[in-house]
Amino acid sequence: MMRKPLIIMISMFLALTGCSQKNDDLFFNKVLSDFSRNSYFVMINGTLAGQTSVYLIKNDDLYSFFNKMTGAVQKGYIQKMLIILKKKETLQITCNAVKDYSFINVLPDKTVSDDAKKGMPYFLQKYFKGRVLKDGIADADKYLIISILYQQRITCKIDDESGYVIMDK
> Residue 128's pLDDT is what?
97
pLDDT of residue 168: 87
- pLDDT the model gives residue 22: 65
Domain total for the chain?
Answer: 2
Do 24 and 99 lie in one domain? The reply is yes
Asked whether residue 81 falls in the same domain as residue 46, the answer is yes
Same domain, 27 and 13: yes
pTM comes to 0.85
Q: Are residues 111 and 136 in the same domain?
A: yes
Q: What is the pLDDT of residue 72?
A: 87
Q: How far apart are CA 132 and CA 79, in angstroms?
A: 31
| CA-to-CA separations, 16 to 13, 83, 113, 147, in angstroms, rounded | 5, 21, 27, 24
The pLDDT score that the predictor gives to residue 169 is 64
Cβ–Cβ under 8 Å, residues 154 and 31: no
Same domain for 85 and 113, yes or no, is: no
Segments forming the whole domain that contains residue 134: 106-169
Name 134's Cβ contacts closer than 8 Å, sequence gap at least 6. Answer: 127, 128
Return the pLDDT at 149: 97
Q: What is the pLDDT along the chain (169 residues), one digit of tens a residue?
A: 444 443 444 444 444 444 456 678 899 999 999 999 999 999 999 999 999 999 999 999 999 999 999 998 999 999 999 999 999 999 999 999 999 999 999 999 999 999 999 999 999 999 999 999 999 999 999 999 999 999 999 999 999 889 999 998 6
Strand 41-48 to strand 90-92: parallel, antiparallel, or no bridges (unpaired)? parallel
